[in-house]
Chains A and B, each alone.
Chain A
């Protein structure tokens, strides 16, 4: 008697094999050699570094330094996101399709259509340049320090926020907005009376999430001299001072968890 065979079996074996064959060149190209992590030499270095994490550095002097750095990091992120809003909000108002009066009855008029395209291209340019590159540029222009980080975050995040705000507004429920525009209300009036109340929770939670990303990002920017906790982390890493690194990583956990808590609270309030 023949055993029953799953007809999908051969296909599964084939596609698993094919995936491995396709992944192989990618691994070669990225020099992906995980076994190096477990060579005796590497293990010794890693374990010495990780071992030095304990105990974390807790001297009053160092804690004060970390607190100042953390405060500066939060300040860089907050100032950066605020400036980014100055770019993103007008860009959203110019590019959101739901607020187009001519698009109410058929096609959008030609002038607004091209304006909208131009704004979208500007946003693409802003966000396609990574904030690290902007930071390197600004470190040369305004010198080492938090200003470079703030400007870098403002430009990249302005591009991201502008794009996503537009998408949130255009993909939400548009009935209330359309009705107000059709009854003769102005674009900004409609924004305040229909579009924002309709989408407030999504917009807020995305903005807070971006602020959390900006905190992480400003740490990275610190590595290229844009100030904040990242700069302290950079020097501790270079000195292989594990206990200081451990303390600062714990501060990061705290910051990200705080951002998460704020976002959840705001969503509950607005939801």
Chain B
């Protein structure tokens, strides 16, 4: 899928109108089948950029086009069909704690399934081989029938990524896919994502904190700082000086270990069992 962002400005819907926009006048083209890493210090607008690309957040200014069509001009049903053709993997794996791994992975295929088929799949999982194969790519095939909340944070993150392999998507938008993985697992997961994307001709946009990994594996690097495009270059042309300028005042993020996200999601507020 081809992406065109022209002069895009975006802000979280709850943000004050006067607040600095999370993305400002950003222009970017991504060709179908391209693989692109977005780097930059915390708060640079990387996640916002992915959300705009995923049609999750309408831009305040400028235009977004996916394969030449403006998604926000589409009727709601057509927009939802379009969303089925792209896959956004958030940084925290979106898995209900009591769900089994097999269900969580097969959920990636929902946009391609009818309601009846998806309900039947809850009783008797459809296409177990595909689910196993996807988990196999992330070394998780033995966890197929485990419950999600019995797994470690890194395993959950990889399950979130395995879901992408089952999604009927032409565009993968992956937010910090390596934040909970050790270096070996991170390299393996990244190689799997990039290899599968190349094989299927899927466009892949990933935000990364690990600059070294981004430079080593991705052909094209986009640097983002304070919501503004700092550079957009082939990996080979990203010099130390550019990186130093991109991460000025955030050097610890460039040099030190990547920040570890808080794995324990906030507990859901308990509902009082009162006689209502």
List A contacts of B13 (CB < 8 A): 105-107
List B contacts of A270 (CB < 8 A): 98
User: Cβ of A183 < 8 Å from any Cβ of B?
Assistant: yes
List A contacts of B83 (CB < 8 A): 182-184
User: Cβ of A246 < 8 Å from any Cβ of B?
Assistant: no
Cross-chain contact of B92 among A175, A183, A198, A205 (Cβ < 8 A): A175
Within 8 A of B (CB), among A147-198: 160, 163-164, 167-168, 171-173, 175-176, 178-180, 182-186, 188-190, 192-194, 197-198
Tally the A-B contacts, defined by beta carbons under 8 Å.
109
Of the stretches B39-47, B53-61, B184-192, B256-264, the one at the interface is: B53-61
List B contacts of A185 (CB < 8 A): 84, 107, 110-111
CA distance A200 to B97 in the complex (A): 11
Contact B265 A184 (CB under 8 A): no
Q: Mark A95-108, 1 if CB is under 8 A from B, else 0.
A: 00000011011110
List A contacts of B110 (CB < 8 A): 180, 183-186, 189-190, 193
Cross-chain contact of B276 among A105, A107, A160 (Cβ < 8 A): A160
CA distance A192 to B99 in the complex (A): 11
CA distance A243 to B196 in the complex (A): 77
User: Cβ of B33 < 8 Å from any Cβ of A?
Assistant: no
CA distance A184 to B56 in the complex (A): 10
Cross-chain contact of A164 among B57, B96, B276 (Cβ < 8 A): B276
Within 8 A of A (CB), among B32-81: 54-58, 76, 80-81
Query: How big is the A interface, by class?
Result: 35 or more
CA distance A198 to B13 in the complex (A): 25
List A contacts of B122 (CB < 8 A): 192-193
User: Cβ of B129 < 8 Å from any Cβ of A?
Assistant: no
Q: In the complex where A105-B58, A189-B115, A189-B118 touch, is A198 in contact with B275 (Cβ < 8 A)?
A: no
User: Cβ of B119 < 8 Å from any Cβ of A?
Assistant: yes
User: Cβ of A209 < 8 Å from any Cβ of B?
Assistant: yes
List B contacts of A184 (CB < 8 A): 80-86, 110-111
Query: How big is the B interface, by class?
Result: 35 or more
Contact A183 B119 (CB under 8 A): no
User: Cβ of B18 < 8 Å from any Cβ of A?
Assistant: no
User: Cβ of B94 < 8 Å from any Cβ of A?
Assistant: yes
CA distance A161 to B88 in the complex (A): 34
A173 to chain B, nearest CB (A): 5
Q: In the complex where A164-B276, A175-B265 touch, is A182 in contact with B115 (Cβ < 8 A)?
A: no
Contact B88 A183 (CB under 8 A): yes
Cross-chain contact of A171 among B99, B113, B271 (Cβ < 8 A): B271
Contact A105 B271 (CB under 8 A): no
User: Cβ of B273 < 8 Å from any Cβ of A?
Assistant: yes
Q: In the complex where A109-B76, A186-B115 touch, is A180 in contact with B98 (Cβ < 8 A)?
A: no
Contact A104 B56 (CB under 8 A): yes
User: Cβ of A234 < 8 Å from any Cβ of B?
Assistant: no
Contact A106 B271 (CB under 8 A): no
CB-based nearest A residue for B112: A184
Q: Mark B90-111, 1 if CB is under 8 A from A, else 0.
A: 1010111111000100011011
User: Cβ of A256 < 8 Å from any Cβ of B?
Assistant: no
Q: In the complex where A105-B13, A183-B87, A186-B115 touch, is A194 in contact with B107 (Cβ < 8 A)?
A: yes
Q: Mark B113-135, 1 if CB is under 8 A from A, else 0.
A: 10100110010000000000000
List A contacts of B98 (CB < 8 A): 197-198, 200-201, 270
List B contacts of A102 (CB < 8 A): 76
Q: In the complex where A105-B57, A182-B56, A189-B115 touch, is A205 in contact with B273 (Cβ < 8 A)?
A: yes
CB-based nearest A residue for B13: A106
A101 to chain B, nearest CB (A): 6
CA distance A94 to B266 in the complex (A): 27
CA distance A194 to B96 in the complex (A): 6
Contact A176 B86 (CB under 8 A): no
Cross-chain contact of A176 among B80, B87, B94 (Cβ < 8 A): B94
- A-B pairs with beta carbons under 8 Å apart, 20 shown: A105-B56, A107-B13, A171-B268, A171-B269, A175-B90, A175-B92, A176-B94, A182-B54, A182-B55, A182-B56, A183-B87, A183-B88, A184-B82, A184-B111, A186-B110, A193-B103, A194-B96, A197-B96, A198-B98, A213-B275
List the interface of chain B (C-beta within 8 A of A). Answer: 13, 54-58, 76, 80-88, 90, 92, 94-99, 103, 107-108, 110-111, 113, 115, 118-119, 122, 167, 169, 265-266, 268-271, 273, 275-276
Apart from A178-B94, A193-B110: 12 A-B pairs, beta carbons within 8 A: A105-B58, A107-B13, A172-B269, A175-B92, A182-B88, A184-B82, A185-B107, A190-B110, A197-B96, A198-B96, A205-B273, A206-B273
List the interface of chain A (C-beta within 8 A of B). Answer: 101-102, 104-107, 109, 160, 163-164, 167-168, 171-173, 175-176, 178-180, 182-186, 188-190, 192-194, 197-202, 205-206, 209, 213, 270
